[in-house]
Every structure is written in structure tokens, then in C-alpha cells.
Amino acid sequence: SQKIEQNSEALNIQEGKTATLTCNYTNYSPAYLQWYRQDPGRGPVFLLLIRENEKEKRKERLKVTFDTTLKQSLFHITASQPADSATYLCALPRNQAGTALIFGKGTTLSVSS
């Protein structure tokens, strides 16, 4: 089955800098990959989806890349703000049949002013 690694448990950056989070996966290449944000005590909230034939996707200050050769996705937050502080989760289809998502353990981002 698919495995996901988000290689940083925590990332601390200063306001205004760009945060870059990494998601690596093993086994098969998924048809798509998703990123979620989770605040303490809350459920995850969807941010972005990128398909295997898309190299890059943007939404406001967010950018996601998808490299199927490296089996990696990068998630960038530009001009970061303290309000961006949260845990960010990478998610992929559980298997090639696509039945349900599996999630990485997440990276907790802290943006200091």
C-alpha cells in the first residue's frame, strides 16, 4: 500500500518568509495529491489538489508542485503570516483503486512576527 512521509514534524519561520513543506510517497504514483490544513482541536480543511499531469498549482499565496519522478510534492506559502501557523497534511489515494485518502503525519508550521 502507499506510504507517505512528511519529513519535517515542525517548521519555524519568520513572518514574510516563504515556508516550504515536503511530502514524499513510495510505491505507485497517485493520480492526484491533496494538501490540508489542520488547526488545533479542529478537523482538517482542504487547501489544494494537484493532478499527476500538473506540475504546479497556485491559490493566492499557496503553491503546490508535483514531481512524479521524484515521488514528491512541495507546498509553499509565500509572504507567510502568523495566521498561517497550523499543521499541514499531505494526502494521497490509499491505493490505485482510489478508495479513500491516506494522510501524512503532518508538518506543524509556526510563523513568528
Give the binding site for other proteins (CB under 8 A): 1, 31-32, 34, 36, 41-46, 49, 51, 89, 91, 93-94, 97-106
Least CB distance to other proteins at residue 41 (A): 8
The residue (of 19 and 91) whose beta carbon lies closer to other proteins is 91
Least CB distance to other proteins at residue 100 (A): 4
Cα 27 to chain center, whole Å?
Answer: 18
Q: Which residue has the cell 494521497?
A: 92
Least CB distance to other proteins at residue 46 (A): 4
The residue (of 104 and 109) whose beta carbon lies closer to other proteins is 104
The residue (of 69 and 99) whose beta carbon lies closer to other proteins is 99
